[in-house]
Chains A and B, each alone.
Chain A
Amino acid sequence: MSTTTEQLTSDTSLGEIVHQTLDQPTRRQVASAGSDDSRDPIHRLQELSDGSPLRLLAASDGAVSALGRLGDTACVMFATDPRRKGGAMGADGCAEIVAAYNLAMRLDIPVVGVWQSGGARLAEGAFGLDAVGTVFAAMTKASGVVPQISIVLGPAAGGAAYGPALTDVVIVGPDARVFVTGPDIVTSVTGEAVDAEALGGPDVHAKSSGLSHIRAATHEEAFARAREVASLLANVKKSAAPTTPTRDIAELVPTNPRRAYDVRPIVDALLDVAPTELHREWAPNVVTSLGRLDGQPVGVIANNPIRMGGCLTAVASEKAARFVRLCDSFGIPLVVVVDVPGYLPGRKQEADGIVRRGAKLLHAFAAARVPRFTVITRKAYGGAYIAMNSKSLGASRVLAWPTAVVDVMGSEAAVAITRRRDIAELPEHSREAGIARFAAEHSQLAGGLDRAVQLGIVDDVIEPAQTRATLASLLATCTPTRSREKNIPL
């Protein structure tokens, strides 16, 4: 790999040289060199790059690495070799992955890893463990600097499980089995009888653990989704020819504040084309999607009232916090669509860490440097109002629809506490009317949109139909910034 690497990194116009290099036919170009074996790492990298030219960087005992393109995005990519010792990671393979990471850092381009590996090579003992550790260190050094995408196509145990887990986006194929250690060892050390799929199959990681950001039904789909994600994370400039949605966004939100609805059609209507939703099946009460709005890349976070009323839960807070950090790391502005009844209270949530994990979302937003815009569509209550990119946490701009409510809680719930003695003294027949009167007084004094605008915690009240155009204008005029914080896998 040395000649190609040095030549590539000695010039200042690196991006251009990467593309030129890939277009020059050489012996290192391996566009048709892969075998038909679907486990062949070269074959997999060719599928990943959808047949575009690859420049082989190295092929060691255990892994293959190459420079190539995913769509228009130049990437460094590598694949473990499951044909050799189950893809187990030895010193040579690990050194190759570390070298691939170093090159990606120098070129400032994404790294995509294709995984199927039993983890550290047993025969290499502590030497192998040390080598796997150097891969983790390289991944962490690259975190927040260049986008990292992992595709898991088969068993990935131990080091091969934690490798993907350290990256920004993990895509699992139908045969992915990701675990600390496989079912045989589980049974021998603890007595638990479990099969590989129940232990670490796609269902486990898409729905329960949250390790998987995207579940793909086929290997082809996994590669296609990786190309999509690479484009969204790496190409943060405005792209041309957006499709203008025509759907009336207002009709998608019920006026009755008690009525649940699916927020995803609203997210779809705000964006140019169908977005890439991450963690679709995990903590579905908050939606996190990457997409483009009027050609500009955005990350959208939206409460989803059809699931758990759209409450923020412990897990949903963590999911959203990680997404904020992902977008902040790579300069992708955030659009936060708020309709939230609160943080979900209760014994289960407290035990799950609604306070500890909920704090992650507060921290993520308050620390984020990327432009971030909030749209309150219906209601924003209590601590969840603060957590959903409020002005107090540094939102760049907060928009609200005319009927939106911002308050500690609903006005009737509030007066049940603040006016409880007055309510108790009311005669039974006039109690309902009295509560309504107290609630109206409370709304005027403490809640209500006018008050929020007066306080400056809502910047603009906009008609629903203006939402997309207003956001497009804000995105076009905002100053692009990004954090240099690492994207720790929260």
Chain B
Amino acid sequence: MLFVSIRSCLCCGEGNPVAEVRAEMTANVWKVLVKAGDTVADGDTLVILESMKMEIPVIAEEDGTITEVKVAEGDTINEDDVIAVIG
């Protein structure tokens, strides 16, 4: 269950790499299921997008803590936009 591209950022603190969860396609944000501070595990659903009449879950690909959620329900996002940051 994957829909995210994760990019490790190497410039955000020693021993504390972050992963940016990015959109693979243009979509509407239907549901946001996490908030900053939440602990998430690999496989957890973070956000559900709506595009092409499909509900498409955005899944965490690693364990960590959500440091930032950059989208809100009802937003339209484009490919490669950052959805959330996992620290």
Contact = CB atoms under 8 A, between A and B. Distances in A.
B54 A346 contact: no
A259 interface: yes
Contact of A260 (B26, B56, B78, B79): B56
Nearest to B48: A260
A410 interface: yes
B11 interface: no
**Dominant secondary structure at the B interface:** loop
B26 A341 contact: no
A346 B79 CA distance: 11
Contact of A284 (B2, B26, B56): B2
B16 to A, nearest CB: 22
Interface string B48-84: 0001111111000000000000000000001100000
Contact of B25 (A262, A305, A342, A344): A344
A348 B26 CA distance: 9
Nearest to A207: B5
A308 interface: yes
B36 interface: no
A447 interface: no
A342 B52 CA distance: 8
A308 B24 contact: yes
B2 A309 contact: no
Given A308-B24, A344-B25, A348-B79, A258 B53 contact: yes
Interface string A334-356: 00000001101010100000000
A346 B78 CA distance: 10
A236 interface: no
Nearest to B30: A258
Given A284-B2, A307-B3, A308-B3, A259 B55 contact: yes
A410 B53 CA distance: 9
A311 interface: yes
B1 interface: yes
A262 B54 contact: no
Interface in A273-332: 284, 305-311
A309 B26 contact: no
Contacts of A341: 52-54
A402 B57 CA distance: 26
Contacts of A193: none
B79 A309 contact: no
B66 to A, nearest CB: 21
A307 B2 contact: yes
Nearest to A342: B52
Contacts of B26: 346, 348
A259 B54 CA distance: 6
A62 to B, nearest CB: 38
23 contacts: A258-B55, A260-B3, A260-B54, A260-B55, A262-B1, A284-B2, A305-B56, A306-B1, A306-B56, A307-B3, A307-B24, A308-B56, A309-B52, A309-B56, A310-B54, A311-B25, A311-B52, A341-B53, A344-B52, A346-B25, A346-B26, A410-B53, A413-B53
Given A306-B57, A309-B51, A311-B52, 5 more contacts: A258-B53, A259-B54, A260-B55, A262-B1, A341-B54
Interface of B: 1-3, 24-26, 51-57, 78-79
